[in-house]
Each structure stands twice: as C-alpha cells, then as structure tokens.
C-alpha cells in the first residue's frame, strides 16, 4: 500500500541544478580552472561541503578548513541571489498535475532534500501549498545514501516507511530510499537510476494509477 510520497527537490520538482552550476562555476573561474557541466553532474544530491571538495579535486586545489567555509558561503550567497528570483514557471513539467492528483486522493506528501535552501525555493515557486511536511538539509546531519532525511519525512507524516515512495534524480538518493525501507521512482535515465523500482524521464503523462500498477 502507498499512503505517502516523498520528493527530492533539486532535479525532481525544480531545476535548481543550473543555478548550483552557475554559482560553482563562478567560484572555479575565480580560482582559475575550468568547471564543466559534466563535472557538475557529480554534485547532484551531494551536500554543499562535499560538493566543494569535489570541485577542489577537479581543480587540483587544496584549502584550509577556514578557506573552505569562506568559499562555500560565497558560493551559497551567489546561489541564493539566483534562486531568490525563481518563479512558479520553473516547476518541472507535469509536477503540479501529479501533486494535485495525489493530494486529491488523500496521499500524504513530504519533501526529502539535502538542500538547506529548500524553504526559499518552495516559497518562490509556490510549491509549499502541495506539501504536508518538509524534511531538508537544515534538519539532518547524515547525507544520502544515509536514509535520515527520508525517515525524517516519514516521521513528520506519521507514516510507516514501508508505505512511502520516494522520487529521486540522484543515485545516492535511490539508495537512501532503499536504506529507509522505501520504494523509489527514479527521475532521469536508467543508466544511473537502474536500481529504482520505476524510472521515468519526468512527470509528464505519469499518474498515480501507473505508480500503483507498477509497484503496489
Ligand atoms: P544547498 P536535493 C541537493 O538537493 C542538490 O542536488 C545538491 O546539488 C546540493 O549540493 C545540495 O542539495 C545542498 O544544497 O547548498 O542548497 O544546501 O537534490 O537533495 O534536493
Ligand atoms: Mg536531487
């Protein structure tokens, strides 16, 4: 039985990855090396500090802890300046139709995101109204594939993890869902998300019946 759906934010409900990329790229430019969109793929679903470490590895640069914190803060300030201009038009195709459908069916909904900027994005895009709970990077200490953020979502919804389905665009997120005892729908390609129970390219044309038929 499925009674709750838990959604990752970046890459599932909105495309904020492009803003993360622009902000990380500005930092790499300043440090004097090239940071490509392909490199950026490695940062999806990964925490802010871990993302910085990957970026520094790409550039072959070492920093003290203090320098790392300064660089991450600088990146976040630029990133927030971009996302503070987001609009409801940036919700990914098919997402609102699916959210409206499951709300009408009485399915409970939570966010399960690593991002500490979740509330700003939800406010700017108008997504807040579709969610009963928000579990995000401000509430957890362990990054995906640890199940902490999804278990927090289930707890906030007062739901058994076995009745939750997670929607994720990152491999580590699919693993985190399984580690939480939940099933997962991968949003993207089977080449990276093959372990999910279902993989779809996006929400367009996807409905709750299809979900139930495939995994309930
Ligand atoms: P912030 P998700 C993740 O969000 C992003 O995919 C990842 O690229 C980012 O580094 C992480 O949030 C932390 O974000 O710097 O805003 O706290 O995919 O888990 O919704
Ligand atoms: Mg994501």
How high is the pLDDT of residue 1?
Answer: 93
Domain ranges of the chain: 4-15+88-215, 17-83
Whether 8 is catalytic = yes
Say what the pTM is.
0.94
CATH number of the structural domain 4-15+88-215: 3.40.50.1000
Q: How far apart are CA 119 and CA 1, in angstroms?
A: 30
Ligand 1: residue whose CA is nearest its atom 1? 115
Architecture of the CATH domain 17-83: Orthogonal Bundle (1.10)
Distance 101 CA to ligand 1 centre (A): 26
* DSSP-assigned states of every residue in 70-97: HHHHHHHHHHHHHHTT--GGGBPTTHHH
Whether 216 is catalytic = no
Place of tokens 């640069």: 61
Distance 104 CA to ligand 2 centre (A): 25
Q: How far apart are CA 115 and CA 48, in angstroms?
A: 8
How high is the pLDDT of residue 177?
Answer: 98
Q: Read off φ and ψ for residue 215, nearest 5 degrees.
A: -130, 0
Ligand 1 pocket residue status of 48, Cβ below 6 Å: yes
Ligand 1 pocket residue status of 44, Cβ below 6 Å: yes
Ligand 1: residue whose CA is nearest its atom 15? 48
- Give which of 186, 208, 207, 187 is closest to 197, Cα–Cα: 186
Calculate mean pLDDT across residues 16-28.
Answer: 96
Atom of ligand 1 nearest to the CA of 173: 19
Q: Which residues contact 196 (CB under 8 A, 6 or more apart)?
A: 168, 174, 177, 184, 185, 186
Q: How far apart are CA 45 and CA 144, in angstroms?
A: 7
pLDDT in tens, 81-139: 999 999 999 999 999 999 999 999 999 999 999 999 999 999 999 999 999 999 999 99
Distance 27 CA to ligand 1 centre (A): 17
């Amino acid at each position: 039985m499925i009674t709750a759906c838990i959604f990752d934010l970046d890459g599932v409900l909105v495309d904020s990855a492009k803003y993360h990329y622009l902000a990380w790229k500005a930092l790499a430019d300043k440090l004097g090396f090239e940071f490509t969109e392909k490199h950026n793929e490695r940062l999806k679903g990964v925490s802010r500090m871990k993302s910085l470490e990957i970026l520094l590895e790409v550039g072959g640069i070492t920093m003290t802890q203090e320098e790392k914190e300064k660089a991450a803060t600088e990146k976040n300030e630029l990133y927030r300046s971009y996302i503070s201009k987001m609009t409801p038009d940036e919700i990914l195709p098919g997402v609102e139709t699916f959210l409206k459908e499951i709300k009408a069916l009485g399915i409970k909904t939570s966010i399960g995101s690593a991002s500490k900027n979740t509330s700003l994005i939800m406010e700017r895009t108008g997504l807040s109204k579709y969610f009963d709970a928000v579990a995000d990077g401000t509430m957890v200490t362990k990054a995906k594939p640890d199940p902490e953020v999804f278990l927090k979502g289930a707890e906030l919804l007062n739901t058994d993890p076995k009745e939750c389905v997670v929607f994720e665009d990152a491999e580590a997120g699919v693993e985190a869902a399984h580690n939480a005892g939940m099933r997962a729908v991968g949003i993207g390609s089977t080449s990276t998300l093959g372990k999910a129970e279902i993989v779809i390219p996006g929400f367009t044309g996807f409905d709750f019946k299809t979900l139930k038929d495939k995994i309930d």
